[in-house]
Structure 1
Amino acid sequence: MLTALELTGFKSFADKTRFEFPEGITVVVGPNGSGKSNVVDAVKWVLGTTSAKSLRGKEMADVIFKSPNQSNRRDINSAEATIIFDNSSRLLPLEHDEIRVTRRVYRSGEGEYLINDEPCRLKDIKNLIRGTGIGADAYSIIEQGKVARMLEASSKDRRQIFEEAAGISRFKAKKIETLRRLDRVDQNLLRLSDIVDEVEGRLKAVRNQATKARRYKEYSDRLQQLRTQIGLAQWRQLNEQTQIFDQQIEELDTQSNELTLQIEQSCSTIADFDSQLERLTGDLQSQEELSASVREKIAEFVTTQSVQTQRLEELANEIARHRIQLAVTQTNVGGLADRVNLTQSELESSQATLESTQTELNTIESQRRHLEEQLKEIQEDTEVQRIEQVTATKNASEAESTHRQLLANSGDLDEQKEVVSGQLEAINKTLASLREQATDHRKQVETLESKLESAEDETEVLARELSDNQRVHERRQENLHALMERLTAVRERCNVLEELETRNAGVSEAVKQLLDESQASDDTSLPLGMLGLVADLAEVDFTSAKLVDLALGTNAQLVVTENDALLDSCRTGRTQLASQLTILNLQNIRQPQTPLTLEQDPNVVCRADELVHCAERFKPLFTMLLSNTWITQDLTSAQHLWQRHLGQIEVITKAGERIDQHGITTMGPPDSSNELISRRSELRNLKQDIYVLEAQVQDNRDEQQRLKQNIYTQAEQLKRSQAAVESLRSRTSQRKATLQRCHDRIELESTNQTGTKQQLDTIVQRQQVTSKELAQQTAELESLSNYLEEVTNSLTRFNRANNELERQKQTLNSQAVRLRVELGKSEQRVSALETQLLQYEQDHEERQNVVDDQARLLSQAQNRFRESTLQILSATSQLAELYLTKEQYRDTNMAIRQRQNEIAAERKREARAGDKLRKEVEGLRSRKHEIELASGDLRSQRSTLEERLREDYDIEIASLHLDAETEEETQQREEVEREIETLRRKLGNIGAVNMEALGELNELEERFNTLSGQFQDLTLAKQSLEKIIHRIDADSRRLFMETLETIRQNFQQLYRKAFGGGQADIILEEGVDILEAGVEIITSPPGKPAINISLLSGGEKALTAVSLLLAIFQFRPSPFCILDEVDAPFDEANIGRFINVLKDFLDFTRFIIVTHSKKTMTAADTLYGVTMQESGVSKQVSVRFEDVGNNGEISEFATNRDAA
């Protein structure tokens, strides 16, 4: 039983919500859009619905609560729903009293399924509830739309509800799985059969290769033995020669070592000599350093002596110079005293002349000042007149300038008027020309647009035709692929059948033997009077071939002859048979009795021999074999027919059952070994199909080629058309652009025309104003000219008076200048004499000081001369001592060099002796190198021999015991080499050898045995699976018929109870297998004839559907039943009947009803309200009957009460 439902974040249920479902009827009410149907969606979702559309969403993430825009709630990242079952009755196959089934989905798209909080798969949940009536698509959840779909569904779709009720849905799933397995087994069998054949063929080839490989191995082993023997002899010889060379090398090493020791002693002696030479060189270097030091000191004293001698000469010259300068300076001091006296007399005379000149200058200056006062007055009057003249001149000049400007402006305006008039005329002409061009461009644009429209229409038509041809080409391509796939499949099947025919599969060993012998002979006809097998002589339609195979059985392998030659050959032993052989001589066939005539029986299809087509001479044969075999529709008809003709006939059904003359019934799939006629009929059909398919493929290819050529041609036409369209578009665009530019120029020229006209009017107005101003300016200029003439005359008179005063002033100025010059000269003469007198006095004093300095310098030079003389004497004494020391050092150096020469001569003699020893050592080493090369050659030959034996035979010859070669072995070597040549020739004659065949043979034999065992296992598995399918079909038929009959009776009773009378029935589709037959519902409401359910009214349909579903419940109750607004089409009376029917099921089912109807609410044992107080968020509330309105609205009082 369903006990509860828990929701968290599912659709509009944002908060965790739990619905308890106690016994009885639970009703969920609420206004439209409140989310009450989300309760039903939650149950469907948990039970495995994977379609978002069935949950009224676009994708599975839509089941997760999403906060409305105006809400303060945040979006939730997951949705979860859990349904809880009471499993105390163990309805569900788990050992738990309570089972919780949970489904969870995250916004990222990940999902989880849990059973009792343990992760599981959706498949596990479906397996858990399969056959219980519980399921997202089962009859336990009934929605208003589902009721309508069930009534409007086809009879095939409606059957699924009855299958779920019968509990065969799990059988059906098991059958589908078994069929898949059977298909895989068939595929594996086919593949394995091919593999077994391939391995068997490979096994035969490998056996031949292995025999050849064994022979090759024997020769190779013997060749290895002989080559090893020769190799050992060669190895011994090489070792002996190598040892001789090693002894010689050892002796040479000894001699070389002795010489090397002597060379080392010589080197030691030379080293001693080198040490002595190095020590003498050091002593010589020390003496050279001391000599150099003495030479440096001698050079230093010589330099000092030379410098001091030169200094004595310089000091002597300096003393003589000072004596001369002292005498000259004393003479100059006496002359300067006479000059001082003369200069004082000249100074007194110059001062008297200066005073006389100054008196005369003062008189001239007084006269000049008086004249300047008169001149100033005249200049002031002249300045006034000059200012008036400047003003008058300026005014006259300005007036004249204005007059000239007005005249110029008047001329400019005339020129401007002429230019503007010309521009206006040119603009008018340009406008006329542009308007004509615009008209021409507009016509060209219209023409191009017309051509473009035509070209676009043509391009569109070509594009449509090309698209149509491409679609046809694609369809043809798909058809061609389908035909090729079908042709490939038919060819593969044909190849398999031909392979079976080639191997004579399904034929006994004796028959195979005879057929193989006939194929091995050159004669194309069968030997020993054989005409062939019975199966070879018959031609049967493929649809009837299996029935003929079944009717003939093993008789299909009868060998038919025209005489007894084969029988005689077997009897006399000329033909040895591998197994039993059945022979039928045509001459021994008696005229058969007239067969029974049973065609009038409606259950009889035909007689078996009527299905066979053969040559006239073979008809008695098939009449004998098949005239007593009849074919019926089913086993029941076959049993009835056999019982009517007891022991006279055999009966075969179309399904493959057989009753022989003794009444033995054979059922089940036929043996594949007895399908010779079926196989050959199928092969003939396949060859015909191949011929037809190849023709269709060729036709399709030809059509493809034609379409491809058409598409290419049309594509080229379309390209050309599109290029033309693009060209027209480009030309149209260019022409439109030209037209637009023309319009733009017209607009611009129109603007220029308006501006030019305005400019011309402005010029005319300015001409009129200029004429008036010119007349006024002419009168003013004449008045200013008269005034200027008067002012100019007055200014001339003032200028004459001023000039006279200026002349007088100039005379006085000249006199004053002359006197100032004389006065200046007198002042300069006095000043010069005073300066000269002062200078003479200073010179006398300075020259007296020079005489004192010269006397002092002379005394100092005499002192330095005496000091230099003393230094020269000291340097001469020290030089004598240094020259003596230098001679002593030179004698010591000569003695050291003599000792060095003696030691160098002894060293040279010792070095020559060492070189001689080295040449002897080098000769020994050269000899040793030659021997080593020869030894290396021998070692290389030995290594090559060793490597060759190792690579060829994996023999380590170095590890073998080596004895000296005997004389007998030397004599046998020639025989061994001859045998080696013989073995090599034999190996060459064998040719290519597969040495891996020896190992592969064992693997192939093992693999062949394994594959053969697997083939047998698969064959047994196939038989087992076929038995399982047969048992499932039998159980499903039985359960379905039992269920259908019980539901039919329940439906008839519930229909009469729901409608208060009337009749209803459930019937199966006729002429179809029970497992595939559709289910039809026929009803006859009270007072109406029997009609199909689709012709009922809406209320009648709904009540009929509910009656049918409850009839199913009555047969196989589900733990719960959810009804989502299924009572919407009912009126009050029908709702009452609907509730009465539900009450009969409350003992074993809990009902959850989502409704708006208050009549339905009256039957509720538990009443839940769902409201949406917060926008977009559903909330569960406890309500009473009186709290709910007619449309499902819940009163505000109830909502507030629940919140409190």
Structure 2
Amino acid sequence: MRLTQIKLAGFKTFVDPTTIHFPGQRVAVVGPNGCGKSNVIDAMRWVLGESSARQLRGESMQDVIFNGSGTRKPVSRASVELVFDNSLGKAAGQWSQYAEVAVKRVLHRDGESAYYINNLQVRKKDITDIFLGTGLGARAYAIIEQGMISRIIEARPEELRVFLEEAAGISKYKERRRETELRIRDTRENLLRVDDIRQELAGQLQKLEAQAEVARQFLDLKKQLEQAQNLFRLFKKREAQALSERWQREVQRLTNELEAATASLRQSENQLEQVREGHYAASDALHAAQGDLYGANAEVARIEQNLQHQRDNRQRLASRVAGAREQESRIVKQHQEAKANLEHWREELAVAELRREETRERLEQDSDQLPLAEQHFRDSQRIYADLQRDLNEARQTAQLEETHRSHAQKMVQSLQARRARLEQERGALPPFDAEALAIKEEELAELSEQLESARYTQETLQEQLPDAETARREAGQAVQGARERITKLEAQLAALRQMQNRLDHGKLQGWLAQHGLDGLPRLWQSLAVADGWDDALESVLRERLNAVLVDDLAQAGDWLDEPPPAPLAVAAWHSSPASGREVGREGNSPPPGLTPLAQYVTWRDGVLPSWLADSLANVYVAQEPRAALAASGDLPSGAWLVTRAGHLFGRGGVSFYAPQSELHGVLGRQREIEQLDGDLHNCLDQVAQAKTRAEQAEAALANIQRELADWRATISDLQQRHHRQQLDVQRLAQIGQQVAQRAAKIDEELREVAEQWEIESENIAEAGNTLEQAQYQIESLEEQLEAQREARAEAENRLNLQREALRGTERAAQEADFAERGCRGKIGELEHFIQTLDDQLENVHAQLEELLEEQQSADDQSLQMELQEALTAQQDKEKALAAARNNLEALTTQLRDIEGLRMVHEQKLNPLRDQVGEARLKEQEARLAQEQFGAMLAEVGADEEALAPLLERSAKASTLMAETTRLDNEIAALGAVNLAALEELEVARERQSYLEAQAADLNEAMETLESAIRRIDRETRERLQATFDLVNKNIGELFPTLFGGGHAQLVMTGEEILDAGVQMIAQPPGKKNSSIHLLSGGEKALTALSLTFSLFMLNPAPFCLLDEVDAPLDDSNTERFCELVKKMSENTQFIYISHNKITMEMAEQLVGVTMQEQGCSRVVTVDIEEAIRLKDAA
């Protein structure tokens, strides 16, 4: 891309819209001090994204907006636009397709700022991306402002490194690395959030599993309830089906009777239909007779109307004949007047033709005189323009020489002030304090030792930190695991206790509370049964297993008047224990090999109470049901064998046990509750121990972190002190160097001032002589110009008079032509009007003849005869109508008699229809009930074939209803059930799997991003190293070219190229300086230029901006600088500001910036090559 123009409006001193063109590769911006030249450089930096007002020589960003002058008001906005030629398509991104790219920035005084590319509003980042890696930017090496040369060469290593990175084009790599680091940080945060959610979800899963178990029990009972309900529905469906079939048979019988009665009705209806058809025919005949009568009446009325119309027509014809005669007389009169006007206008036409011939002759004479007057005026005008051009050239020459003399005089004044300032500055240079420098260096060494010791301690603590964090994390995980186990145990205990507590509810709850028994223990709470014999004990004790234990059984007498509403057992809590007597019937020994059930039962407070031992007497255990059945015949009277399943075998029969009450499983649940209580206490102890370990690990970690933070603060304080001390040492050393360098620089500048003084004095004298010659030439040309101005005015006056005469003759000729055309138009109109009147008169004559003929043909005798015939036909039609009306009345009487007979038959059908309808309603009611219960079965998807065998065993509706009620009660006993627990558990497990996968994806993303960071670092390192080597090679070639010898190179300040700074080492010819700060101002400028141009050779920017970089150079160095710029301008466009004549001579175009109006800059452009061609042509 090449910069073609810059547009400024309201930016600093460029208040008016200004366009500066840059057509060549070397463009110099020149002008006196303070005219606004550097504002051009500031404008380019500003539009490229500079956001620091200090870098733009202002206090705030609002300072770039024109703030007014003595004659101008402030403006509200500033805008700068750079226009680039992109015909080669080198612009970045989507803008490469445009042949021209315009970058614009607008700032309003209210602070609103906007960027545009090709008039499309974009972000600041888009502007930066276009020039990323090209050397262009707000602070890139392609824009070098005043004082920046010294700042480049004296920059810190990390600041100088920025220029090397821009040349290497790794700005985009740094941006990609920064974005990747942000993604890594976001990924870590997401991973932490996912881990937290996973831990929280694990606790939720334990709770949901307990709730899901209760939900499964509910669903099982619900399934049994649905089966019972389906059996009931099937029973009702079959019952409704039988009822429907009985009513169908009744409907068939009643329908047969109804059909017989209907046949008699149909016979009467057939007779009625025959008579009705004859009635319809008589009615049609009556209507036809009425129609004929109406037609005869209409014919009579029509003839009478025609007679009246003929009388009216005779009157109308007489009136039209009178009107036609009146119109004939009016047309004849108009025809005579039109012929008289035609003769008048023919006479006017002859006069107009004569006048037109006369004006044409005068017009030809005046037209011949006008070209002579015009030629005389053009000759006078050409002579006057030549004199005016010569006078302007002479004035420009005088003004230019006056400018040269004024500039030389200002330079002399500036040199005088500069010499006085230099002499004053030399006398004010401070002495160098070497002793203070030595003290500062000793203090710096001491701080370095302290800082190294603190860093070693910090590294030791940093190594201990991961172990402490691991210990804290493991302790926290142990606490979390114990808490999860506690949560699971508590959920199981809550479910079991809830089932146990339901035993106290029901019909007995109010009665127990009323008598103060609701808080007493139950028998099953004091029993312990051997594992596997719970059902056996339940089968033997039945409801007594849930007996209420009281202190004194005598109080049961108080309940006899108000017994409990449901079965209830009460037992004494402290009855006498069973003695060592045999368990069995007194006086009878148990069969050998049998074990009493009481040996499997344990009383929690000691020996079994006597009443419980009596309840278990004569009950023995059997391991196998078949063995019990075989041994039951040998049992003594009253003895029983019980199996693990609870089945009882006696001498006279077998009692099969099945769980039917809420007491089932109460002993097993109680045993499980006790075991879970023990496990819960153990887990609580484990949580307490884990918490102690976690607190200890947390305290250890906090102690390490606190010490680490303290040492970091100490290191930070030492680093700041060390940095300040280092700056003080450098400042003192630099002061000494700067004093010596400045003294030498002042001497050199004083010599330059003396030489320049002589040159400017000669320029003043030379400009004065040239100015006198130009003023003499101006006076002579002004006299000649005044004489020629009078001659030109006289020729112009004669030309105007001749033109006015010609215009008068042309107007007279036009008027004559208009008069002639007017007369001819009037004659044509009158001739046409006469022809029209002739045609109208002929039409009136023809119309009058037609009216007279029509008047003679009007006669009404034939109409009178037609009227008499119509009246005769009307009387005949009236007689026919009377005969048809008599026939219709006779048929109507016969029809009425038959209709009465039909109604008698129809009334007999109504009772039969009601009976059929009622029977059908009954049948439909039964069928609807059948369909309703069938739909219920179909809705729940019941299999009727599978239900039919079950229905045969319980074919009573009451039995089915009782089963449904029992299942409803069991479902109600479960209490509140979270039916969504199963689904929630499945969803939670799916979410857990999803989170596991997400965590794996995040870990994989972390690895990918870290790999990208390593790849970016590797590519950056390679590009930076290659660029460093090439720049060093270019510096090795350019530095000797600019200095005429010597050596310079770049060195890294560290081993890692990604973090190391860059330092410049330069040794001009004959010098072996140890620091670049020892170079003179001119040497520093050349060194900085060699570095900048080395970067350009590696990565040429589209253009380079130089602001008075040649100021510290002498003529010989300036010439070498110019030769180098000319060579590099083949690839890079150079736009520079300079006061040096040698540098100005190098330019292809000069852009002059002036400030004729105080505070407002204007631009004057001069093409050097075009100026040379004009001079050679002159």
* Structure 2 length-normalised TM: 0.38
Larger-Rg structure? 1
* Structure 1 length-normalised TM: 0.38
